[in-house]
Structure 1
Amino acid sequence: AAGHAEATTDTGDEDDGADDDGPAARTAIEDTCVDGTAASCRRWAMDGFYRALGRARAGTGLARISLYGDSVTAEGYIATGMRRRTMKRYGDGGAGFVFLASPSRWYQNQVVRQSQSKGWQIHSIVFNSASDQLHGYGGVSFTGTSGDHVTFKTAKRGPGDAVSRFELYYLASPKGGTADIVVDGEVALTVDSHADTTASAFAGVDLADGAHAIEVRVTRGRLRGFGVTMERASGVVVDSLGVVSNTAKSMGKIDDAHYAEQIAHRDPALVMVLLGANESGWLKGAGAMKQYRQQWEALLARVRKGDPAASCLVLGTLDAGELQDGKHYVARTNIADMIEVERAAAAAQGCAFWDARAFMGGDDAARKWFRKGLMSGDFEHLTSKGGQVIGSGIVEALEAGYAASRSR
C-alpha cells in the first residue's frame, strides 16, 4: 500500500522498544549475477569494484566511487562517513570530483575548502536546466565570463588533505574562451576551450603530493565547466554528487552521448545512486510505481552503457516521515514499495542493491533515528552523525562483500 499512515504516538515520547539496535544492524549487499546463474556465476555486478579495492589496499591504484543523489547526499555527510572509514585501510585517494562552483546554498563538499566569485551561471538537471542537456558528470554545469574564478584548497587535515593530480572538466565549443589553472599563486596551465565542434574536454596538472591551493580563473570570453577532480596516486576516492531536489526522473536530463563521454573519462570503479527522498512525498499507486521503475531502469542503463566496466550499486531509499499538524509523526509507508521497485530495477540492469532502510532498522526508523540525533527534525534529512553512520554502514557492507569475493 502506498501513501501515508499516521503513527499512534507522537515524537519524543517513550520508545516502543522495536528493533532498538538501529545503526548496529548489519545489512549485506545483494549482488547480481551478470554472467551465468547465481549457482554458477562467472561475473557478479560488484566484481570490478572489488578488484579496484584490492589494488587500493595494495597501494597500486585508485578505487573511485561516485555517489549520486539528492539533498540527502548533497550535504556531504554520507561521503564523509565513507572517506573516514576507508582512508586508514585503503588509503586516501583525494577529494575526487568536486563541482566547479557551489550548485546551491545547501551543498556541502565537506572536504575541499572552496570559494568562488558571484558571476557563475548555474544550470542543473533539476533547476534552470540547459536546453542542450550538457550537464556534465555531476548533473550541473557552470558558465563563467572573464574575471570569474573559483578556488579549491585541500583540507587542513584528514581525508582530502593532499592532492597530486588536478583536472578540469569543461566543454570545448565554438563559443569557448580561455582560463588559467593557477597553483599556489603561479599559472600552471592555460586552457583554451574554443573548438570547431562541441564536446567534453579535460585539462590536468600533475602536482607534488601535498597541500595546495588551486584556482580556475576565466581570462577571456566564456568558460563552461562541470567540475574538477583532486586525486592522489592510490587509495579510495568518493565523489559526492548530490543535487538538491534530484529525482530518478531528473537524472534523465543529461544527454546520453555527453554523459558517456564524461563517465568514460572519469572511469569510476563503482557508481552508487541514492534517491527517493523527494519521490516519497508524492508517489502513490501502481501507475506511479511503474513509471518510477522505468525511470530507475533508464538511469541505470545510461550508467551501464557509458562505462560497462564500472560496478553499480543502488542504495535503497532511506526511511522518512513528517509531522502532521506540527506534532503527530506520520510515516511515509510508500517507501517500502519504492524500495522493492529500486531492488527490481537494480537486478534488471545488472546492478547490486543495498537496503539502507533495513540498515536503519526498518519500520519507524526515521522517528527512532531522530531520537538518537541521527535524523533531522524534518524526518527526511540526516544529521552529520547520521550521515556518517550510513556512510560507515555502506563501507562495512562493501568490505564484507569484498572479503566474500576473495573466497569465490
Structure 2
Amino acid sequence: MATSTTKRAPWDEKPYGLDDPCDATPEEARRGVVHLAIVAAVFVVIALATYLVPLDAMHALRPWEPGEDVPIARLYGREAGEVSGTAIATGGASAGGPQQGALDDSVLANLEDEEDDAPPPEVEPTDPAQRATGVRIDPSELEGLAREIEDPNGTAMRAFYDALHRTASREPGAITRVAHYGDSSIALDGITQTVRERMQHRFGDAGHGFVLAARGSMPYRHRGIRHESSDAWRLMDITHLPLSDGHYGYGGYQARSISGATAEFGTVEEGPVGTAASRFEVLYERHPRGGRFEIRVDGGEPQLVDTRGEPVTDDVHRVVMPDGQHEITIRTVGHGESHLYGVVLERDGPGVVYDSLGMVGARARRFLGFDRAHLARQLEQRATNLVVIGYGGNDADDDRDEAQFEEDFRQVARLVRQARPEASCLLFAPLDQAERDERGRIRTLETVPMIVSAMRRAAQAEGCAFFDTWSAMGGEGGMERWFRSRPRLAFGDFRHATPAGYRVIGNMLYKALLKGFSDYLTRR
C-alpha cells in the first residue's frame, strides 16, 4: 500500500534548520530572556566602567557626555533635520525648545542682506552734525549691525573717515583706498568682494583696484573681473619667504619671468559695479638684470616697458584711456628677468577702491618678511587710507601662548603704522576655527579665543582699531552652527566659510565701517 507524503512549500521550511521560536517551550523562552538580560547587563557595566575609570582615553568610549544630544533622541532632532534637508538656519524656539544649532540673530540679519540697485535712502538727516556737513548715514542702513569697530580713543580710524568724508562729499577725484591683508579667507575675495561692492554702491565706484600679476595654483581670486595668467611665471611669495630683500610687492607675491609668460585682465560686461576702468597701472620692480615686457590695451599696438635699472627700486607704468570696458594683456619678451607685482584697474573718483590682498597659508608673523621701506613705497604708491590686517586662521594651529600671539600682532601693527603713518590701521579677527574631537563633536580650537584676545590688546597698544569677527560669527561653537545651518555657511574643513558665509561676514564688516563713519560725522 503506497504511503502519501505532503511536500512543504518553501515558505514553510525552517530557515537554516532552526526551530520556530513560536514552538519554544516556556522553559526555553525563560532561558532566552535570562540570556538577553545578561547580555544587556554586561553592556551596561561596560558603559558605566567608562565613567568610573579615570583615564582620558575613556572619554571617546562613553555613550554620552554633558552637552551632547540624548542618545537615540538625536535621530529625531538636529541630525535627522540635516539628512532630510530641513532648514535650521532660523532662530526662535520649536515645540521642543530652542532650535539646536540655530544661528545668532545678528548672523540671520546679514544672511540675505545683499545690496540692490536702489540708491541710498533720501531721508533728511536728523543729526545736526550730519545735516551741517551735507553727508548723512540713515539709520536704516545700519539694520543688522552685528559688531561695531572697536576704537576706544576715536582716533585709529580718523584718517580713513576723513578720506571717506571727502569721497561722500563728492569732491572731484576723491578716492578712498583700503588695503585688506589676510590669509586664504581674504584670498578667496568673498568678504572683500562684498565690502567692495557695497562701499562702491554707497560712495562711488572707483574701480577694482589691485590684482596679482599671476596666481599659479593658488586658490586666489579677484571676483568681478576677467583674470588669466599662464604657467610660465615663478611666484615668490611672502608665505614661504624666499627673498632676502623682502621685496614681495603690494600683494605679497612677486611674479618672475624671462620670456613668454602672459597675463590678461579685463572688466566684465555686467555687474553691480566694476564694469568700467579708465586707468591701468602695472606695478613692477626695476633692477640691474631687469627684462622687458609689452602691454597691449584692447588688442592695440604694444607698449614696451624696460625694467632694467639701478639701484633696485619699485616702479609703475600707467596707461590712461576713456572710461569704459577695457582689457590689458601683458607678455614678457626677454632681455632679462621681469619682476611684476600686479595690475591696478581704476577709474577717476570720487569713489572707493577696496584692495583684496590675501596670502594663502600665511600666519601673522609672515607679514614681517616685508622690507619696511619697500612696503612703505607700495602703500604710498597706492595712496592707502586704511590698512586692514586679517590673520589668525593659520596661527590657530600653532602651539603658542597668548603673549606670543600678542607680540606677533603688535609687531605687524607696528610695521604697518611705521610704513604708512598717514593711514588708519584695523586688526580684523579670524573666523572661528574648529575641528572634530575624539567623539566626533565639532569644537572651537582652544587657541582661537586666545588669538582674538591677543589681537584686541595688540590693536589698543599700537593705535589700531579692532573688529571682532569671531564674536560676530557667534563666538564659541560658531563654526559648528555655521556648518549645520541651511543654507550651509561653513565648509567641512571647519576653517573656511562658504560663499554665502563670506557674504555674511562682508555685510557685517561693511555695516561696522558705516556705523563708525556715522559716529565720526556726529563728532565732526
2:362 counterpart of 1:246: yes
| 8 Å Cα contact 1:97-1:230 kept in structure 2 | yes
Give the alignment of 1:332-347 within 5 angstroms.
332-347=445-460
User: What residue identity is the alignment partner of 2:364?
Assistant: A
**Higher normalized contact order (CA 8 Å, seq sep 6+, divided by chain length):** 1
- SS of the aligned residue for 2:339 comes to strand
| 1:267 and 2:378 correspond | no
Which structure is larger by alpha-carbon Rg, 1 or 2?
2
- Aligned positions of 1:17-56 closer than 5 A: 20-23=104-107, 24=109, 26-33=146-153, 44-56=155-167
Correspondence for 2:169 among 39, 58, 77: 58
Moved more, 55-64 or 210-219: 55-64
Hey, what's the Cα distance between the residues in 1 that align with 2:276 and 2:204?
Answer: 12
Query: CA separation of 1:17/1:223 partners in 2, compared to 1, >3 Å: closer, same or farther?
Result: closer
Aligned equivalents of 2:506, 2:169: Cα separation in 1: 23
Partners of 1:70 and 1:274 within 8 A in 2: yes
Secondary structure at the aligned position of 1:249 is classed as helix
**What is the rounded CA distance, in whole Å, between the counterparts of 2:164 and 2:302 in structure 1?**
32
**Residue 521 of structure 2 corresponds to residue 401 of structure 1:** no
Match of residue 163 from structure 1: 277
Q: Deviations over 1:202-228 (max 9, x none)?
A: 111112111111011212332101111
Q: 1:153 to 1:253 in 2, by over 3 A?
A: same
- Distance (Å, rounded) in 1 between the aligned partners of 2:330 and 2:103: 50
Higher mean alpha-carbon deviation, 322-331 vs 174-183, is at 322-331
- CA deviations on 1:12-56 (whole Å, 9 max, x unpaired) are 6484367732413620111143xxxxxxx7xx1111111221222
Matches of 1:54 and 1:155, distance apart in 2: 29
By how many angstroms is 1:404 displaced? 0.6
2:164 alignment partner AA: L
1:82 and 1:391 in contact (8 A); partners too: yes
2:216/2:233 contact within 8 Å kept: no
Q: Is the 8 A contact 1:7 1:328 kept in 2?
A: no
Q: Which AA in structure 2 matches 1:245?
A: G
Q: Say which structure is richer in helix.
A: 2
TM-score (normalizing by structure 1): 0.91
CA distance in 2: counterparts of 1:336 and 1:152, whole angstroms? 40
CA RMSD for the aligned pairs? Answer: 2.1
**SS in structure 2 of the partner of residue 148 of structure 1:** strand
Written as runs of structure 1 = structure 2, the 5 A alignment for 1:3-402 is 8-9=67-68, 13=79, 15-16=99-100, 20-23=104-107, 24=109, 26-33=146-153, 44-60=155-171, 61-127=174-240, 129-158=242-271, 159-187=273-301, 189-220=303-334, 221-234=336-349, 235-285=351-401, 289-324=402-437, 327-372=440-485, 373-402=488-517
Question: C-alpha displacement at 1:111, in angstroms?
Answer: 2.3
- The question of whether the paired residues in 2 share the 8 Å contact of 1:114 and 1:151 is answered with yes
What amino acid is aligned across from residue 214 of structure 1 in structure 2? Answer: I
Which letter does structure 1 place at the counterpart of 2:322? A
Question: Do the aligned residues in 2 keep the contact of 1:170 with 1:224 (CA within 8 Å)?
Answer: yes
Shift of 1:303: 1.1
In structure 2, distance between residues paired with 1:212 and 1:32: 44
One-letter code aligned to 1:266: R
Q: Secondary structure at the match of 1:147?
A: strand
Cα deviation, 1:230-268, whole Å, max 9, x if unaligned, reads 111121111111111111111111111211111111111
> How many percent identity over aligned positions?
35
Q: Which amino acid aligns with 1:405?
A: Y
The alignment's TM-score, normalised by the length of structure 2, stands at 0.71
The alignment covers a number of residue pairs equal to 391
CA 1:309/1:103 → structure 2, altered by over 3 Å: closer, same or farther? Answer: farther
User: What amino acid does structure 1 have at the position aligned with 2:263?
Assistant: V
Is this contact kept in 2: 1:150–1:215, CA < 8 A?
yes
- Note the C-alpha offset of 1:131: 2.8
Contact 1:248–1:299 at 8 Å: present in 2 too? yes
Q: Quick one: which amino acid aligns to residue 224 of structure 2?
A: V
CA distance in 1, matches of 2:106, 2:442: 18
Q: Residues 96 and 326 of structure 1: is their aligned pair in 2 closer, same or farther, counting only changes over 3 Å? A: farther
Q: Matched residues in 1 for 2:493 and 2:381: separation?
A: 38
Unpaired runs of 5+ residues, structure 2, are 1-64, 82-98, 110-144
Does 331-340 or 305-314 show the bigger shift? 331-340
Q: Give 3-state SS (helix, strand or coil) of 2:260's partner.
A: coil
Q: Counterpart amino acid of 2:464? A: C
How big is the shift at 1:92? 1.6
Q: Which residue does the alignment assign to 1:36?
A: none
- d(CA) in 2 for partners of 1:389, 1:173: 43
Q: Tell me the CA shift for residue 104 of structure 1.
A: 3.6
